[in-house]
Structure 1
Amino acid sequence: MTAKSAPVIQRIQPDAVIPSFQYYWDATVTWVQGNVFELSVAVGTAIIVFVALSWLKRIASKIARESEHRAHVKSIVARTLARTSKFFRVMVSIELVNQIANAPAALTHAIDILFTIAIVTQVAIWLREIILGMIERRAGEGLHEHETLQSAMVLIRLLVSFALFAVAAIVILDNLGVNVTGLVAGLGVGGIAIGLAAQGIFSDLFAAISIIFDKPFRRGDTVSYDNTVARVEVIGMKSTRLRALTGEEKIISNSKLLEKEITNNTLTLYRRVTFVLTLVYQTRPALAKRIPEILREVVQENGAQFIRAGFNNFAASSLDFHLVFDIESDDVEVMFRARHDIGIAIIDRFAREGISFAYPTQTTFTAAPDGHMVMPYAPPAPAPKA
């Protein structure tokens, strides 16, 4: 088995440098002298193209500066075009000259390499601006998420830039004939290592981005999860801070919060309230029939929406009636006031109608040996004779 020998890199002989430059110079002079007309047309066209691209970049920069909303499509397109580099504009013009005037093979090869570098790099820059612009546009509807987005954009911009320019470098090297298999494998292994090391951080970061984009809740909303009811104060890159109704501050990681079933009470169109009314068994049937209509009148007089009311159950010590009504407001305070007013109005109306509320009671009946019911207490003593 023969060992593979390492490729031998030939040394550049100093004596060969000058003749090589001389060869390329002579070839270039001969090309220029033989294609004067084509070169004149090509150079003129290239200047026009360069000036047009520069004018387009200047107009785009002006539009981007004067735009009031960065999230608008017009502003995103303008910022993208404003990022057109001078190197790209120059190489587009030179490539145009090369295509029209048929430059020598050696010069064409050099121009093709530079043009490939210019166009791949420029496309990466444009894609970065478009992606970041669309991220800002998607999250631009939130008024209070701007600070969170600005904090997250630092890392998002870094990740997007690294990914795009890594792909651009691989494309450029591949077009230059470099074997990029090892480079791609190294980037893959490095990415996996970084992802495993910072798994928790990236999980919370992407959860924060998900909250900003999907908007299950926003800053100022009142949400419920598990046994907690709280108002959202800050949506951070790693955690969300909430203020519970009892006053304490709740801090929970974004990834853990999204794993829970969240109820956004702020988006509630109405608040439904249910009362269970327990009445004594001595309530007359005719009066019991009128209770649903009485309850309807009380609810409507207090500005709420009556849903239903009626008899529900024979309980151990009461006749149970259910009342359901809606408060057309998403404000918890409004619901509390309306529920209080309707409850007091029911108490007042039942008192005027002679309807009594029941409470847990137990009546004992005593029977004599012969089965006749007797009083469970001694009869009153007779009055003394006069």
Structure 2
Amino acid sequence: MDIRQFGMPIAGIGPENWIVAAIACVVTFAAIHGALMLLRRRMARLVDSGQADKPAAELLGATLARTSNLAVVLISVLVGLSLLDLPPPWHQRVQILWFIVLGLQVTLYIDRAVSIGTRRYFRQHSADESAPDTVANTLIGWAVKTVLWAIFALAVLSNLGINITTFVASLGIGGIAVALAAQNILGDLFASLAIAIDKPFEVGDAIAVAGVSGSVEHVGLKTTRIRADSGEQIVISNADLLKNVVRNYKRMSTRRVQLSFRINPATPAALAAVIPAAIREIVEAQDEVRFDRVHLKGLSPEAIEFELVFFMLTSAYGTFMDTQQAVLLAVMEKFDQLGVDTGTPAHHVMLERQPRAVDDAPPRNELAEFKGRTHGSR
């Protein structure tokens, strides 16, 4: 029985060889599929029992889940074809197929590992691990995957016998032309990448930049959207954003508060000496406050000035305003109890008129004289 009776394009191979190759394909597929299932179950048991590093085991299990069934089938077929004595042209084609299939599967593994690894890294270094993916995760993952698949595509073209040197050079020249034509867009893109890596702020942070104060709603590839305190949405390009000073209020751990009190300069020294201790007692009675100092700062004919400095141990703006209000009201009440006058002294202005000399004649009213002469002539 000749295999050529079945219309096979490759001659010279007996049916028994094809049967062996088919059996090898089936066995290889079953072995690979079974090994993958056992390895994934083993990783799951190790994670549940705590015998293995949980992040690493979960990463390995999730990466193995990216195994393509088509790739497993093709690998099984290639194993069977490798057992046959193929002619040189077909043998070379099988070798190329080996590279493509294995390279594709390895690239899929790395792609999945990059997605899971970057997402886990940025969530671990974020204040809220349940938060959605940040712009840093999206940009870095996208950049790594782009480079990965570009390398795989060039490697496949090279194995197919295509000269990629000219192709890469053409891509370089074209990339320079595109970069010059879209330099503003690329500037915003690199600015967004800088925001992703350096992280001067993240979504949800309260910031103030370029006269705008609000919370960050979205950081995109070109623009950042800020919900202003007045309610409207402000859209700023990433490049312009990084050119200005950004104040991140969410990362402020403490808030320094400085207040001044001016009292009447006629206040007796004994009464003025009591004021610092009274103000300190008021501040120390407040919650989430660290007292720093209170001193007599200045003495002038207009007022006696005291300066108070304390620190809020929270960055919440509402708590700061409530505490400042409580301190001011308590100081006003304390001044009333002590009889401290906070009014400014009255100023008396005296106006002195210079006496007029006797010889000085009053100024003549020429218009009145003219009218008098006119009426007299009638």
TM-score by length of 1: 0.68
List gaps (5 residues or longer) in structure 1.
1-17, 64-71, 367-386
SS of residue paired to 1:322: strand
Change in 2 beyond 3 A, CA 1:204/1:61: farther
**95, 113, 118: which one aligns with 1:112:** 95
Q: Find the counterpart in structure 2 of residue 320 from structure 1.
A: 305
- 1:283-302 equivalences in 2 (<5 Å): 283-302=267-286
Q: Find the counterpart in structure 1 of residue 366 from structure 2.
A: none
Q: CA deviation at 1:322?
A: 1.0
Q: Find the counterpart in structure 2 of residue 3 from structure 1.
A: none
Q: Which moved more, 1:320-329 or 1:121-130?
A: 121-130
**180, 184, 194: which one aligns with 1:200:** 184
1:341 correspondence with 2:341: no
When the two chains are superposed, the root-mean-square deviation of aligned CA atoms in Å is 4.5
Q: CA deviation at 1:157?
A: 7.6
How far apart in 2 are the matches of 1:196 and 1:58?
Answer: 51
Amino acid at match of 1:83: R
Q: Which moved more, 1:123-132 or 1:113-122?
A: 123-132
1:357 correspondence with 2:357: no
SS of residue paired to 2:310: strand
How far apart in 2 are the matches of 1:74 and 1:191?
Answer: 40
Change in 2 beyond 3 A, CA 1:25/1:306: same
Q: Find the counterpart in structure 2 of residue 129 from structure 1.
A: 112
Change in 2 beyond 3 A, CA 1:291/1:56: farther
Change in 2 beyond 3 A, CA 1:32/1:250: closer
How far apart in 2 are the matches of 1:215 and 1:305?
Answer: 30
The answer to whether the 8 Å contact 1:305/1:326 transfers is yes
The answer to whether the 8 Å contact 1:317/1:358 transfers is no
- 1:1-386 equivalences in 2 (<5 Å): 25-26=11-12, 28-29=13-14, 32=17, 44=24, 47-55=26-34, 76-93=59-76, 105-140=88-123, 141=126, 146=132, 162-208=146-192, 211=195, 215-303=199-287, 304-315=289-300, 317-357=302-342, 359=344
Amino acid at match of 2:313: E
Change in 2 beyond 3 A, CA 1:363/1:79: same
How far apart in 2 are the matches of 1:73 and 1:343?
Answer: 56
The answer to whether the 8 Å contact 2:214/2:227 transfers is yes
The answer to whether the 8 Å contact 1:139/1:212 transfers is no
Q: Find the counterpart in structure 2 of residue 379 from structure 1.
A: none
The answer to whether the 8 Å contact 2:226/2:234 transfers is yes
Q: CA deviation at 1:332?
A: 0.9
How far apart in 1 are the matches of 2:29 and 2:264?
Answer: 94
How far apart in 1 are the matches of 2:56 and 2:129?
Answer: 19
SS of residue paired to 1:83: coil
SS of residue paired to 1:345: helix
Q: Percent identity?
A: 28
List gaps (5 residues or longer) in structure 2.
43-54, 352-378
Change in 2 beyond 3 A, CA 1:162/1:197: farther
SS of residue paired to 1:256: helix
The answer to whether the 8 Å contact 2:265/2:301 transfers is no
Q: Which moved more, 1:53-62 or 1:124-133?
A: 53-62
Q: 1:31-51 deviations in whole A, cap 9, x for unaligned?
A: 959xx9xx68x965x644432
SS of residue paired to 2:100: helix
SS of residue paired to 1:233: strand
- Equivalent pairs, count: 335
Q: 1:264-304 deviations in whole A, cap 9, x for unaligned?
A: 21232333211112233323233333322111111123333
Change in 2 beyond 3 A, CA 1:157/1:349: closer
How far apart in 1 are the matches of 2:208 and 2:345?
Answer: 34
